[in-house]
Amino acid sequence: MSASESSSASESSPVALVSGANRGIGREVARQLAERGYRVLLSAREEQKASAAAAELAQSTGAEVTPLQLDVADPASIAAAAARVQADPGKLDVLVNNAGVGSDFGVSGVEPDFAKVQAALDTNFFGAYRLTIALLGLLRESEHPRIVNVSSGMGGVAEMGGWSPGYRVSKAAMNAMTRILSTELAGEGFLVNSACPGFVKTDMGGPMGAQKPVEDGASGIVWLATLGDDGPTGGFFRDGEPVVF
């Protein structure tokens, strides 16, 4: 295991940053990582929401949970957040690119709303890609760097169907990013994977009828974030099982 199993935060605790962690799957991933002894940088686009969620998780887990303002759709916000992580704690072992929007669920691909397609790409793809590149220097200093891209089965090209073009394309692009980075970072100890959480009962999935508990949706992501050095890289997984890209 790359992580300490201790639940007490210390200088030696591995550090994980989770984007979009004020609610939903991201918040649960942050909680599970905190329980495993990670120092968690809990990021949210609204500072007050990051602070409130971090305080609650620090209290419920006993771990060190640090709020971080981060809007992944804003390159200036990414640069500012990366500078703050560089200053404190000055290290990073795990990046979970979780922040996402379902801007055009149900919209027809033959009658697209290009503003919504753009919104999906800005957050789900460019946000994750830019954040990864901004933090790559710190991750390279880790002995066990892990990147988990929270994707979706809707981004799998092999079995792709219709509707939701922006969301689908943004997650397909994210999966391509997983393959590109895992290939180029092979040999540097990185494990870079995509995760589909399944159909999870959150603010995103709940209104569409999702029933999967958020704890179960998060656990497959946490598995990839805490892989041992002999774990897979360049893969796409749901609940620990491979999914077709």
Ligand X SMILES: NC(=O)c1ccc[n+]([C@@H]2O[C@H](COP(=O)([O-])OP(=O)(O)OC[C@H]3O[C@@H](n4cnc5c(N)ncnc54)[C@H](OP(=O)(O)O)[C@@H]3O)[C@@H](O)[C@H]2O)c1
**Residues within the interface to ligand X (CB under 6 A):** 19-20, 22-26, 44-46, 70-73, 98-101, 123, 127, 150, 152, 196-197, 199-200, 202-205, 210
How many whole angstroms separate alpha carbon 82 and alpha carbon 127? 13
Q: Which of 116, 129, 167, 201 is catalytic?
A: 167
Pairing of strands 236-238, 241-242: antiparallel
How many whole angstroms separate alpha carbon 178 and alpha carbon 226? 17
Nearer to ligand X, 144 or 154 (CB): 154
How many whole angstroms separate alpha carbon 148 and alpha carbon 233? 10
SS3 content of the chain, % helix, strand, coil (to 5): 45, 15, 40
What is the Cα gyration radius of the chain?
Answer: 17
Dihedral Cα 114, 116, 122, 125, nearest 10 deg: -90
Nearer to ligand X, 37 or 166 (CB): 166
Q: Any idea which residue has 């090209």 for tokens?
A: 157
Q: Residue 125 Cβ, how far from ligand X at the closest point, in Å?
A: 11
Q: Residue 145 Cβ, how far from ligand X at the closest point, in Å?
A: 21
Q: Residue 188 Cβ, how far from ligand X at the closest point, in Å?
A: 26
- Examine the residue annotation and report whether 201 is marked as an active-site residue of this protein: no
Q: Residue 152 Cβ, how far from ligand X at the closest point, in Å?
A: 4
Q: Which of 116, 171, 201, 212 is catalytic?
A: 171
- Examine the residue annotation and report whether 171 is marked as an active-site residue of this protein: yes
Q: Of the candidates 137, 142, 124, which has an alpha carbon nearest to the alpha carbon of residue 16?
A: 142
Active site residues: 167, 171
